[in-house]
A and B are shown apart, each in its own frame.
Chain A
Amino acid sequence: MRQKWKRLSAAAAVLLFLAVMSVMAGCSAAGGSEGDSEKVRLMVWSPSEDQSRGSGEWLQKCCAAFAEQHPEWDITFVYGIADEATAANSIAQDPEAGADVFMYANDNITTLTDSQAIAKFGGKYEKQIRENASEALLNSVTLDGFLYGVPFTTNTWFMYYDKSVFSEEDIKSLETMLQKGVVSFPFTNGWYLPSFYFGNGCTMFGDGTREEEGVDFGGDNAVEVTNYLIDLIHNPHFVVDADGSGMAGLRDGSINAIFSGSWDYESVKHILGDNLGAAALPEYTLDGTPRQMYAYSGSKAIGVNAHSEYMVPAVELAIYLGSAEAQRLHYELRSVIPCSTELQEDPVITSDPVFLAQNETFDRTSKLQPFVSRMANCWAPIENMGKSIRNGTVTHKNAAEQTKAMNKAMNSNGIQ
């Protein structure tokens, strides 16, 4: 029995070896040609656009350039597909078989740390990363004082508008916009709706990192916002954006401004052409005083697997993929908005409206999206609030009571 098992595992090992070899044969990149270079095998995961021929093979180009810079390693790259939103789950499922270098959205950071799958950056590497990114950006990938990734783009939402309808002055106030045109907002989406509450002083987990402080969405200031939202939904120039209706409205001209992110840029550009405007979030007027809307902000970063066999090359590659040079190529090939401090002065990039809108939103009109684990209980209550206001079950009469109930649910442990 035992022998049979041995034979079986030997056969499996051979099979595995063959499989690995065939993968290697498929996508090996040029390594150093010297005979004494160390053999290194790095598995890299990225979204499929980064690897597709149609959008310029950013990852392959960067990896080849990296290999050229490091003749001391004979690197074999193995590429896999995992976009930033789902990579963390795939890595956490089995860290040992996960990629050495991968890209993740910063709100998944606790998934990665909980499964002990992500390496901390320290020493000279940490210094290198810090030199290339702003403080706010670094905070988005820092947990308990440790740095967990190389940020390569900001991740937030902002406003697209039709320049033929709104002037640069109009877009500073939501109320002015609602007088001049039709505005659509993802009212029933938990990622967007809190922006109004943040504007009136509501907070989540202190500055977003202090779990023990809880959520403050139930005070009188929150009730004022709920009342404002009830009025807003009855405004004939305000349309709820759900299931892509905002984009459809933009397409047929019935809507003049939507709130979305860089992922919709190509579509919006196609629809609005030269009239495309992108800007940070406007202010809304509550009882006569202007209040700023705040988006959730985060970042996308490059992480290194804590189980990587080739730690130094993996860390070096991660830093290279997040460097100004790689970010510039990323922008040129795929319009991924760069965040490197070095590129903030580049004339070509800084004239891009999306770059300006996204970075201004990140710097001025956003709050760091909390990634404490209790945050998981906050999405459904706020989404339900949006839906209830739309359905008319939350009215001026019960607004106070409903807002307090929402706050209670957000502060609960999720099971009632």
Chain B
Amino acid sequence: MNSAKTKRTRNNVIVHIILAVLAVIWLFPIFWVILTSFRAEKGSYVSTFFPKSYTLANYKKLFTDTTILNFPRMFTNTLIIAVFSCILSTFFVLSVAYCLSRLRFKFRKPYMNMAMILGLFPGFMSMVAVYFILKAVGLTEGSLIPLALILCYSGGAALSFQIAKGFFDTIPISIDEAAMIDGCTHWQVFTKITLPLSRPIIIYTILTSFIAPWVDFIFAKVICRANADQYTVAIGLWKMLEKEYIDNWYTCFAAGAVLISIPIAILFLRMQKYYVDGLSGGVKG
């Protein structure tokens, strides 16, 4: 009895030490970026891990020195694009997943196969084609670029339904049937029965479809081209590391990196509690 307890304690200690080491390794770069963002010394290279003096000037510069790299505008652009693509693609993903999980139609199997095969190719393979299609409809100039980017990020969302569909499949179909007997339409079943039961997967979909446009670089670069007023943060941060800017902007780059993690962190923290909920609102009888 006693020896079993000691053994367990010993195992726990070992496991926790390993986890602690891994956690340190994991958090190290993040910690370093945060420290750099408060660093008062200029330049991209320092010989000490901890800054010699701390300052908030990097954050201030990011929001006040907007003549060359307009970070506040980039941040707003990205936020708008991310929010709208998040809403659109979440809707697409959940709708498609529901249809494929609950409805039976001829094209269902071929569609799923096709989606699987298409999903094997990286999205940016088509970026030049996407650019020319958007150009043909006149979306690549001026203030229509955000719309073009929203379309880019949400247009292909319907292909990544697999996880949500898998989740919907686990909800007993008898619940749907019961609702149908009571007079529900498919739309009502979807909104009133399926969605309330699938909170974790909704949250998951929202998070992934927010983060994708938030951090994307390739499409933004190809579509924005020389329209600097439409740049997203990814392009802006990349610019800060070019040889002309790096010495002056490196610490601001770190500050920017910290700032862009805030919306994601807020979203995650707010959504996190629903993760555990799962099927707790399930069915009785």
Interface residues of A (CB under 8 A from B): 8-9, 12-13, 15-16, 19-20, 22-23, 45, 47-49, 52-55, 80-83, 85, 87, 90, 93-94, 97, 99, 243-245, 247-248, 251-252, 263-264, 266-267
Interface residues of B in 131-166 (CB under 8 A from A): 131-132, 135-144
B42 close to A99 (CB less than 8 A): no
Interface residue? B260 (CB, 8 A): no
Question: Contacts A12-B137, A19-B143, A267-B42 known; A93 to B67 CB distance under 8 Å?
Answer: no
Shortest distance from the beta carbon of A107 to any chain B beta carbon, whole Å: 14
Using A81-B228, A87-B226, A94-B132 as known contacts, list a sample of 6 further A-B pairs with CB atoms less than 8 Å apart, ordered by residue number in A: A12-B139, A52-B67, A52-B68, A80-B228, A243-B45, A263-B244
Which residues does chain A contribute within 8 Å of B136, judged by CB atoms? Answer: 12
A81 close to B138 (CB less than 8 A): no
CB-CB nearest 3 A-B residue pairs: A80-B226, A16-B138, A81-B228
B45 close to A48 (CB less than 8 A): no
Partner of A16, one of B68, B141, B225, B250: B141
B142 close to A23 (CB less than 8 A): yes
B138 close to A12 (CB less than 8 A): yes
B43 close to A247 (CB less than 8 A): yes
Interface residue? B69 (CB, 8 A): yes
Which residues does chain A contribute within 8 Å of B246, judged by CB atoms? Answer: 244
B226 close to A244 (CB less than 8 A): no
Which residues does chain B contribute within 8 Å of A8, judged by CB atoms? Answer: 137
Which residues does chain A contribute within 8 Å of B68, judged by CB atoms? Answer: 48-49, 52, 54-55
Which residues does chain A contribute within 8 Å of B137, judged by CB atoms? Answer: 8-9, 12, 15
Q: How many residues of B contact A (CB 8 A)?
A: 36
Shortest distance from the beta carbon of B249 to any chain A beta carbon, whole Å: 11
Which residues does chain B contribute within 8 Å of A23, judged by CB atoms? Answer: 141-142
Q: How far, in angstroms, from A22 to B143 measured CA to CA in the complex?
A: 8
A-B CB contact pairs (8 Å), 5 listed = A9-B137, A19-B138, A48-B228, A55-B68, A87-B226
Which residues does chain A contribute within 8 Å of B222, judged by CB atoms? Answer: 93
B228 close to A244 (CB less than 8 A): no
Interface residue? B177 (CB, 8 A): no
Question: Contacts A97-B135, A263-B243 known; A244 to B45 CB distance under 8 Å?
Answer: yes
Q: Provide the main secondary structure of the chain B interface.
A: loop
A244 close to B44 (CB less than 8 A): yes
Q: How far, in angstroms, from A245 to B144 measured CA to CA in the complex?
A: 42
B67, B226, B242 — most chain A CB neighbours (10 Å): B226
A244 close to B43 (CB less than 8 A): yes
Shortest distance from the beta carbon of B203 to any chain A beta carbon, whole Å: 35
A19 close to B228 (CB less than 8 A): no
Residue of B nearest to A99 (CB): B226
Q: How far, in angstroms, from A53 to B66 measured CA to CA in the complex?
A: 10
Which residues does chain A contribute within 8 Å of B228, judged by CB atoms? Answer: 48, 80-81
A90 close to B225 (CB less than 8 A): yes
B225 close to A82 (CB less than 8 A): yes
Interface residue? B41 (CB, 8 A): yes
Interface residues of B in 102-123 (CB under 8 A from A): none
Shortest distance from the beta carbon of B200 to any chain A beta carbon, whole Å: 39
A19 close to B67 (CB less than 8 A): no
Which residues does chain B contribute within 8 Å of A9, judged by CB atoms? Answer: 137
Shortest distance from the beta carbon of B197 to any chain A beta carbon, whole Å: 39
Which residues does chain B contribute within 8 Å of A247, judged by CB atoms? Answer: 43-45, 247
Shortest distance from the beta carbon of B209 to any chain A beta carbon, whole Å: 26
Interface residue? B180 (CB, 8 A): no
Which residues does chain B contribute within 8 Å of A99, judged by CB atoms? Answer: 226
Which residues does chain A contribute within 8 Å of B247, judged by CB atoms? Answer: 244, 247, 264, 267
Which residues does chain B contribute within 8 Å of A54, judged by CB atoms? Answer: 65, 67-68
Shortest distance from the beta carbon of A77 to any chain B beta carbon, whole Å: 13
Q: How far, in angstroms, from A124 to B244 measured CA to CA in the complex?
A: 35
Partner of B144, one of A19, A87, A263: A19
Which residues does chain A contribute within 8 Å of B131, judged by CB atoms? Answer: 93-94
Q: How far, in angstroms, from A93 to B222 measured CA to CA in the complex?
A: 8
Q: How far, in angstroms, from A57 to B144 measured CA to CA in the complex?
A: 26
Which residues does chain A contribute within 8 Å of B17, judged by CB atoms? Answer: none
A81 close to B227 (CB less than 8 A): yes
Question: Contacts A16-B141, A22-B143 known; A80 to B47 CB distance under 8 Å?
Answer: no
Residue of A nearest to B46 (CB): A248
B43 close to A248 (CB less than 8 A): yes
B135 close to A94 (CB less than 8 A): yes
Interface residues of B in 192-236 (CB under 8 A from A): 222, 225-228
Shortest distance from the beta carbon of B128 to any chain A beta carbon, whole Å: 7
Shortest distance from the beta carbon of A229 to any chain B beta carbon, whole Å: 22
